[in-house]
Structure 1
Amino acid sequence: MDLFAFPPLAFLLDTAYQTLMGISDLLAPLAGAASAALAIVVITLLVRAALIPAGIAQARSEQVRARLAPRLREIQKRFRKNPERMQREMMQLYRDENTSPLAGILPALIQAPIVGLIYAIFLRTTVAGHPNDLLAEHLIGVPLGTSLVASFGAFGIETAIVFGILIVLMAAVAEVTRRVFRPAFPVEPDASPLASVGVQRGLGFLPYLSVVFAAFVPLAAAIYLAVTVTWTLGQRWILRRIYPIE
């Protein structure tokens, strides 16, 4: 079943397509054959700029949770043998301070459908009944609908170079993110299953998920991911200095 056959989703997909085509046409005199790729970069920057207030809220929330860390550890020690009571006390503390352990996930939730739309556009030969001209667009000779994994063994040097640059960039950003933004408010190792050493170590490598996704999605979506993770790192670095965690 094609979800984008439903009128509301078809309209949304066509709107995203027309927006990309419009920006690409505006950028054509400047970027030439790479105008569609540059249009994706522009769209990404506009989305990230619109999410700056959510990023500020996230930074403030991290600052509050860091301030609450001693009290959280006290609750964890006090109710270590009563996990249900411990969770209730922790959630009450969050409510009293008008914050949440899940605060800050809004940017990720908003971006997920945007990446999905870009992914869908570059997988379809037609959009809302008309030909998908974006499939003819490319970056340094690599079609924007090309996926690294899907074309494995058959891609040329240009594909290897373009995807290689994006993946190396994203891996570097992920490593810097992992090192610089370690959890600033650790919990007791036995307070919760999520606090175990193995789980915490696994969570530390979550920034690398974007690198994995980039290998499977079309080049257009990989460009979006590369720009957004780079923006996110810079934004978090700036906001951490405005809202320091002590």
Structure 2
Amino acid sequence: MFLLDVPVSVAYDLVTGLADALSPVTGDLATVAAIVVFTAAVRLVLLPLAVAAARGERTRMRLMPELQALQKKHSRDPQRLRRETATLYEKEGATPLAGCLPMFAQLPFFFVMYRLFMSATVAGHQNILLSHTLLAAPLGQNWMSVLGAGLFSPASLVFLGLFALLAAVAWWSSRRVMAEGPMANVARLLPFGTVVTAAFVPLAAGIYLLTTTVWTAAERAVLHRRVIAPV
């Protein structure tokens, strides 16, 4: 548990420090703005992984005809298909998991944000961030905990607005999934998992999710159209 408390303590200092710095400009939304800036900083650090993922995805699209030919040729021999597919990826210096690197790499940061707004104390001191809100919704509570006041209570409406924004970003992202075959439908549904997740995590973690998904959508648009030259 101590090893988990260290990054939570660091995140607490970063978020409170950012909130203090942003307060003259953002007022009561300083903590929300600090979470957004914190998330953007994380994604900026992970940008090299995103570039690698975009290159890997483009390589996979280029190899798609060969992959489909292998699937047809070895449809009755799954082990042979896996070996041949691995050989093809190795030959091209690619990996089918490259596109997942940014998502996996930021999971620890999301978990830290979750822990930060679930902890009553940080480093032995009261967690003052739990008293901060976005409009009428406490940043340390989840949607399920505010439903007691009614589905359309002020706090619940904040969450419903968050869900709507997450769903819009998920819809945009799902329409740009380039996967083909049996996993294509799964890949298109995955972005909507953020809406479900946001219902059960503190509002602060939901804001992290919204910020990072918007970043991902913009990042993919830039990397796939401008930064990574077409093959």
- Name the TM-score, length of structure 2 as normaliser: 0.93
Unaligned stretches of 5+ residues in structure 2: none
Kindly indicate whether the alpha-carbon contact (under 8 Å) linking 2:147 and 2:156 is maintained by their aligned counterparts in 1.
no
* Alignment correspondent of 1:190: none
1:129 aligns to 2:124 (yes or no)? yes
Structure possessing the higher relative contact order (Cα contacts under 8 Å, 6 or more residues apart): 1
Q: 1:115 aligns with which of 86, 97, 110?
A: 110
SS where residue 181 of structure 1 aligns?
Answer: coil
1:98 Cα deviation after fit: 0.5
- CA apart distance, 1:154: 2.2
For residues 161 and 60 of structure 1, the distance between their equivalents in structure 2, rounded to whole angstroms, comes to 40
Structure 1 residues 143-171: Cα deviation after superposition (integer angstroms, max 9, x where no partner): 11121012222267321232122111110
Does residue 142 of structure 2 align to residue 147 of structure 1? yes
1:69 and 2:64 matched: yes
Please say if 1:33 is aligned against 2:15.
no
Distance in 1, matches of 2:36 and 2:138, equals 16
Partner in structure 1 of residue 193 of structure 2: 209
Q: What is the aligned residue count? A: 229
SS of residue paired to 1:216: coil
Q: How do 1:233-244 and structure 2 match up within 5 A? A: 233-242=217-226, 243=228
* Whole-Å separation in 2 of the counterparts to 1:9 and 1:235: 30
Is the CA contact 1:122–1:144 (under 8 Å) kept in the aligned structure 2? Answer: yes
Higher helix proportion (structure 1 or 2):
2
2:49 to 47, 54, 60: 54
Q: Larger deviation: 219-228 or 26-35?
A: 26-35
Q: Which residue does 2:163 correspond to in 1?
A: 167
Displacement after TM superposition at 1:85 (Å) = 0.7
**Structure 1 residue ranges (4+ consecutive) displaced by more than 4 angstroms after TM superposition:** none
Please say if 1:94 is aligned against 2:82: no
Is the counterpart of residue 219 in structure 1 residue 203 in structure 2? yes
Q: Would you say the 8 A contact 1:41–1:223 is kept in 2?
A: yes
Q: Which runs of 5+ in 1 are unaligned?
A: 188-194
Judge conservation of contact 1:62–1:245 (CA < 8 Å) in 2: no
Instruction: Indicate the percent of aligned positions where both proteins have the same amino acid.
Output: 39
Q: CA deviation at 1:12?
A: 1.6
Check the 8 A contact 2:177/2:187 in 1, yes or no.
Answer: no
Residues 135 and 143, structure 1, Cα contact 8 Å, conserved in 2: yes
Q: Which residue of 1 aligns with 2:213?
A: 229
Task: Report the CA distance between 1:27 and its aligned residue.
Answer: 0.9
Q: Partners in 2 of 1:160 and 1:245 — Cα distance?
A: 45
Give the drift of 1:70: 1.1
